[in-house]
Amino acid sequence: MKRNKFIFVPSLFTVLNMISGFLAILNAMNEAYIQSAWFIILAAIFDSLDGAMARLTKSASEFGVELDSLADVISFGVAPSILVYKFYFHEFGEIGIFLSSLLMIFGAMRLARFNVELVGFDKEFFKGLPIPSSASTVASYIILFYNSESGMTNLEKYALIPMVIALSLLMVSSIKYDTIPKLSLKSIKQSPIKFLYFYLGLILAIITKGKIIFPWFVIFILFGAIRSLINTFKPALGLAGTTNYQDEDENNPLPDDFQF
């Protein structure tokens, strides 16, 4: 069997993800919170690129999946946990340690479940909030509201507590969240709204210097939760005859006109 000469390419981006996570941890420990948050966002970019490279080079492998999960625990589990602890949660002593650790613990559980249930390498949705989305939400919140000179208001700090708890629980929930659509005409035709939301958000993130990232993730998270609730209560509302994304083919969980 001929060995794929590009097999190392996805792993290179995974290593860059890991390095970014390590730098996020170092910056958080040195109280450089904005820099730490940006390294988490950078890690998320590398994380999305390793999957894209694996598809492009046809070099997806079980080794790559496992390495990616280990990198994700560092960048999107440990790093945001240390960030929120150093930033605010340390003020609550042992309770703060526990609350900070939730992102790491539930993130690791989310990844373990993903690896056990993984069927193929090309998925249209994730079961539970992806751990990079959870970490990016926390990081982008700090980027949006924290100022190195004036800091953050007490209310804005306090909001981190319910946010961390909610994100942690969403990661191990059964709510389905869409993956990033591929850059292809087929993807545009199948789900134009979803394609526009993801890639227009990317452009706006660059234009606004990251200020749009947090509201972008809030909409993404709420949409998945609301969609799940609607489908759960459809029978009670007498809407059982309408299309339910959970009954669709696993590789196309939503009808084309309802993709997000």
Dihedrals phi, psi of 5, to nearest 5 degrees: -75, -10
The pTM of this model reads 0.85
Domains of the chain: 8-258 (1.20.120.1760)
State which amino acid sits at residue 26.
Answer: L
pLDDT at 141 over 70: yes
What CA–CA distance (Å, rounded) separates 215 from 234?
A: 28
> For 127, phi and psi rounded to 5 degrees?
-90, 110
pLDDT per position as a tens digit, 61-114: 778 888 999 999 999 999 999 999 999 999 999 999 999 999 999 999 999 988
Share the mean pLDDT of the chain: 84
Q: pLDDT at residue 244 above 80?
A: no
